[in-house]
Structure 1
Amino acid sequence: MIHNGGVHRWFFNTAQWNPSEHEFSFLLSVLPQHEQSSITRFLRLDDRKRALISRLLQYGLVHQVLGIPFEDIIINRTLEGKPYLENIVIDSELPNFNFNVSHHGDYVAIASDSIHIVGVDIVSHVIPERETTLEHVQNFSSYFTSLEWGKIMEAEISDEILGELYRYWCLKEAFIKAIGAGLGYDLERLEFHHTNWTDIYCHIDGHKSEEWQFWLSELGEGHWVSVARGHPRFAVKNYRKTLHSAEVEESAYHSNVQMPTNFIPQTIEQLLPVSLRESYRILSSKIT
Structure 2
Amino acid sequence: MSPLARGGGHRFRWVLDVDEEMALGFQRHLALLPEPEQRHVLSFVQPADQHRALASRLMQRACVCLALAVEWPAVTLALTKGRKPFTTCAKPSSAPNFNYNVSHEGLAHDEAACEAAFQRLWSLKEAYIKARGDGLGFAPLSRAAFHCAAAGRGAAVSAELMLDGAPQPNWRFLCEPLPYGHCVSVALGPPSGVVDQLGAFKATLHGAPDPGAAAAGPSFTAVTLEQLLAAAGVV
Instruction: State if a TM-score over 0.5 links the two structures.
Output: yes
Q: CA deviation at 1:159?
A: 4.0
Aligned match of 1:224: 183
CA distance, structure 1, for counterparts of residue 198 and residue 129 of structure 2: 12
Task: Check the 8 A contact 1:30/1:70 in 2, yes or no.
Answer: no
Task: Check the 8 A contact 1:85/1:98 in 2, yes or no.
Answer: yes
Q: CA deviation at 1:246?
A: 4.3
- The alpha-carbon distance between structure 1 residues 247 and 56, as it changes in their structure 2 partners (threshold 3 A), is closer
Aligned match of 2:217: 260
Task: Check the 8 A contact 1:125/1:162 in 2, yes or no.
Answer: no
Aligned match of 1:141: none
Task: Check the 8 A contact 2:158/2:175 in 1, yes or no.
Answer: no
CA deviations 1:77-101 (Å, max 9, x no partner) are: 1111111112233x11111211111
CA deviations 1:218-276 (Å, max 9, x no partner) are: 21112111111111110013375424564625xx7458676110011111222215654
Aligned match of 2:101: 100
Aligned match of 1:192: 146
Q: Secondary structure at the match of 1:174?
A: helix
What fraction of aligned residue pairs are identical, expressed as a percent?
A: 31
Q: Which moved more, 1:188-197 or 1:31-40?
A: 188-197
CA deviations 1:201-222 (Å, max 9, x no partner) are: 1112222222111111221112
- The alpha-carbon distance between structure 1 residues 256 and 13, as it changes in their structure 2 partners (threshold 3 A), is closer
Q: CA deviation at 1:172?
A: 1.0
How many residues get paired?
A: 224
Task: Check the 8 A contact 2:15/2:222 in 1, yes or no.
Answer: yes
Aligned match of 1:160: 113
Structure 2 gap ranges (5+): 152-156
CA distance, structure 1, for counterparts of residue 211 and residue 115 of structure 2: 36
- The alpha-carbon distance between structure 1 residues 18 and 173, as it changes in their structure 2 partners (threshold 3 A), is closer
Q: Which moved more, 1:94-103 or 1:256-265?
A: 256-265
Which structure: greater helix fraction? 1
Q: CA deviation at 1:51?
A: 1.4
Q: CA deviation at 1:35?
A: 1.1
What is the correspondence of 1:1-288 to structure 2 with a 5 Å cutoff?
2-3=6-7, 5-20=9-24, 23-89=25-91, 91-104=92-105, 123-126=106-109, 159-185=112-138, 186-196=140-150, 198-238=157-197, 241-244=200-203, 246=205, 248-249=207-208, 253-254=210-211, 259-273=216-230, 275-277=233-235
